Chain A
Amino acid sequence: MRKRTIIPGVDPKLLIKDAARAMPDPMRRQFLRGAASLGALAFLTGCDIIDGETADGVLRKISSFNDGAQALLFSKTKLAPTYPERAITRPFPFNAYYDEDEAPVVDGASYKLEVSGLVDSKKPWTLDELHALPEVSQITRHVCVEGWSAIGSWQGAPLSEFLKRIGADTRAKYVWFKCAEGYTNTIDMPTALHPQTQMTFKFDNKLLPRAYGFPMKIRMPTKLGYKNPKYVVAMEVTNTDKGGYWEDQGYNWFGGS
């Protein structure tokens, strides 16, 4: 006799296990004890479930699909709205997955930005050399994936200019960043080349403080906050998506605003 499946091709035991993982603790025990009704499982049948896939796999696949949709929606020329100085959120919030007093302390004097990958020049850059790059300024809205936002003022060099200087292959798909405390992030090349994507060295026209990412932050007003890495110590131009701290845990990779 054919094994009875609620959704064709999906092992009901796996599906129930996955559904249970997605539920808060008190519900989980009840659910696993078989109290699950077909109605609860109906939540998982909103779309076609491919053979052998579990709910989490499907959700991740849809998130990947959304990366493509967002890439289509992304405009290389459309600028994020800018604001007057009086709109700056004061104090601008500190935000990380650790407390402010645990933020990395990077020694500016010995700091060198490591550059690698599909570039002509792999020479590391000192902070003085980076500060000497032509400066631009923006007052834009930082939008957090949590929902809140804050308006900040960032000064630095356009990443597109830096990539040109180091002879980066702009046909490559990604730019990857590594940060002092281990945070990593991969972004798409079109966003890296966007006019407002900035290697940031100052906040509000003062040297970037430790709280906001000293010695260097990558500011991208076309993406959510978690795609704007702080304390950047290395970057690589690559055709390999190396993921990122939050992306690997299930947050959307493109993260576009």
Chain B
Amino acid sequence: MTADTMTANRTGAPIHPAWVRVCHWVNAVAILVMIGSGWQIYDASPLFNFTFPRQIALGNWLAGAIQWHFAAMWVLVINGLVYLALGFYTGRFRRKLTPIHPRELVADIKAALTFKLAHDDLAHYNTVQKVLYTGVILCGVVIVLSGLAIWKPVQFQELTALFGGYDFARYVHFFAMAAIVGFLVVHIALALIVPRSLRAMVTGR
């Protein structure tokens, strides 16, 4: 592997600065706790004709799950706000996630599906990555806001109304979770297929 393929930045700056890596892993733990406990909460009053098996849910019963959910929410939101603030302030979102050109997206999707999408330069995101990372950040915002709407349908009733009322907000919360889980499946699979990317998110290089 030559220096050219390791990183595009010849000054030796990390692919992911320390704040990105810290935010990433804090978020990883927090979101897994939120999803696991969220599944257990869902099981108390399922929206659809299925429940999540207790073996993969977190909290053992409704009270336990709620305790986990309302503990991890602080970590998720505080860390998320720090990440968003720094992402905008440092210009990282602009540099890494823009521009998104529809034609490049189609080309990159085709390349991805035929296993021809290269990951030589980990510092540069292809259009599929840009779309998915932007998308999951938006899903994160929606899931937090819809969560607040169903947690406080009286105190935050204007927010709950924005989400179509209490009952509909529950569905929004569920589908935002499903989208995040879908992202995680792809994200984790690809991190394992391209282990250099996983290493870069741990060491920065």
* A interface list, Cβ under 8 A from B: 21-24, 26-27, 42-43, 45-47, 58-60, 62-63, 66, 73-75, 78, 80-81, 141, 143-149, 221-222, 246, 249-252, 256-257
> Which one of B30, B55, B62, B153 lies within 8 Å of A143 (CB-CB)?
B153
> Which one of A26, A60, A62, A149 lies within 8 Å of B55 (CB-CB)?
A26
Q: How far is the CA of A23 from the CA of B45 in the complex (A)?
A: 20
Instruction: Tell me if B58 counts as interface (CB < 8 A to partner A).
Output: yes
* 5 A-B interface contacts by CB (under 8 A): A46-B29, A63-B70, A246-B63, A257-B151, A257-B155
Q: Given the interface contacts A46-B72, A148-B45, does A22 sit within 8 Å of B153 by beta carbon?
A: no
Report A-chain residues with C-beta under 8 Å of the C-beta of B154: 78, 80-81, 221-222, 256-257
Instruction: Tell me if B32 counts as interface (CB < 8 A to partner A).
Output: yes
- Residues in B11-35 with C-beta less than 8 Å from chain A: 29-30, 32-33
Instruction: Tell me if B7 counts as interface (CB < 8 A to partner A).
Output: no
A43 in contact with B58 (CB, 8 Å)? yes
Q: How far is the CA of A222 from the CA of B44 in the complex (A)?
A: 21
Q: Given the interface contacts A46-B72, A63-B70, A147-B42, does A23 sit within 8 Å of B60 by beta carbon?
A: yes
The tally of CB-CB contacts under 8 A between chains A and B is: 94
Q: Given the interface contacts A43-B58, A46-B72, A146-B45, does A73 sit within 8 Å of B66 by beta carbon?
A: no
Q: Given the interface contacts A24-B54, A60-B67, A141-B153, does A146 sit within 8 Å of B44 by beta carbon?
A: yes
Q: Given the interface contacts A80-B154, A147-B44, does A66 sit within 8 Å of B70 by beta carbon?
A: yes
Given contacts A47-B74, A144-B45, 9 further A-B pairs with CB under 8 A are: A22-B60, A24-B60, A46-B75, A62-B71, A63-B71, A66-B70, A78-B155, A147-B44, A251-B66
Q: What is the minimal beta-carbon distance from A53 to any residue of chain B, in angstroms? A: 13
Q: How far is the CA of A78 from the CA of B154 in the complex (A)?
A: 8
Q: Given the interface contacts A22-B60, A66-B70, A145-B66, does A74 sit within 8 Å of B157 by beta carbon?
A: no
Report B-chain residues with C-beta under 8 Å of the C-beta of A141: 153, 166
> Which one of B32, B45, B71, B74 lies within 8 Å of A59 (CB-CB)?
B71
- Residues in B33-74 with C-beta less than 8 Å from chain A: 33, 36, 41-42, 44-45, 54-55, 57-60, 62-64, 66-68, 70-72, 74
Report A-chain residues with C-beta under 8 Å of the C-beta of B153: 81, 141, 143, 257
Of the candidates B57, B62, B152, B154, the one having the most CB atoms from chain A within 10 angstroms of its own CB is B154
B62 in contact with A145 (CB, 8 Å)? yes
* B interface list, Cβ under 8 A from A: 29-30, 32-33, 36, 41-42, 44-45, 54-55, 57-60, 62-64, 66-68, 70-72, 74-75, 150-155, 157, 166-167, 170
Report B-chain residues with C-beta under 8 Å of the C-beta of A80: 154, 157
> Which one of B57, B63, B74 lies within 8 Å of A250 (CB-CB)?
B63
Q: What is the minimal beta-carbon distance from A184 to any residue of chain B, in angstroms? A: 17
A59 in contact with B170 (CB, 8 Å)? no
Q: What is the minimal beta-carbon distance from B160 to any residue of chain A, in angstroms? A: 8
B63 in contact with A73 (CB, 8 Å)? no
Q: What is the minimal beta-carbon distance from A188 to any residue of chain B, in angstroms? A: 14
Of the candidates A80, A147, A251, the one having the most CB atoms from chain B within 10 angstroms of its own CB is A147
Q: What is the minimal beta-carbon distance from A197 to any residue of chain B, in angstroms? A: 12
What 7 A-B pairs come out closest when comparing CB atoms?
A147-B45, A250-B63, A146-B44, A59-B67, A146-B45, A62-B71, A24-B54
A143 in contact with B166 (CB, 8 Å)? yes
Q: How far is the CA of A22 from the CA of B66 in the complex (A)?
A: 12
A252 in contact with B71 (CB, 8 Å)? no
B29 in contact with A43 (CB, 8 Å)? yes
